[in-house]
């Protein structure tokens, strides 16, 4: 995942991810200062994390933490859709 800081966030939650984004099998992780989403797809795990206050990235990896695919996007919904599509394409 891309490195980032919460500098200049003014104590507000960092990034786009909020508790209400934990839908459709995605689980909320983190804390009020910085939320992220996780989902298990069997042999692959997925994460969505903020990369800037207005962007996020999706990550697909193996249980040992090794990267399979990662990409940046502009919305949480786009990240969820892209991660799900990648896993579905990989499994077909």
Domain ranges of the chain: 19-91
pLDDT of residue 11: 67
pLDDT in tens, 23-46: 999 999 999 899 999 999 999 999
Q: How many helices (H) and strands (E) does the chain have?
A: 1, 5
Local structure of residue 21 (DSSP, 8 states): G
What's the rounded mean pLDDT across residues 66-73? 98
- Exposed, middle or buried, 69 (CB in 10 Å: 0-12/13-18/19+)? middle
How much of the chain, in percent, has pLDDT values that exceed 90? Answer: 80
The more confidently predicted of residues 57 and 2 is: 57
Distance CA 31, CA 69 (A): 25
Task: Indicate if the pLDDT at residue 1 is higher than 60.
Answer: no
Name every residue whose Cβ is closer than 8 Å to that of residue 17 and which is 6 or more positions away in sequence. 30, 35, 36, 37, 48, 49, 50, 56, 76
pLDDT band at 8 (very low <50, low <70, confident <90, very high): low
pLDDT of residue 92: 86
């Amino acid at each position: 995942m891309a490195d980032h800081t919460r500098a200049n966030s003014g104590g507000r939650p960092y990034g786009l991810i909020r508790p209400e984004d934990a839908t459709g099998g995605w689980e909320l992780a983190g804390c009020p200062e910085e939320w992220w989403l996780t989902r298990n797809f069997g042999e692959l795990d997925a994460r969505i994390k903020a990369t800037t206050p207005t962007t996020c990235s999706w990550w697909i990896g193996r249980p040992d933490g090794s990267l399979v695919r990662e990409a940046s996007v502009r919305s949480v919904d786009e990240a969820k859709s892209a991660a799900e599509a990648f896993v579905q394409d990989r499994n077909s």
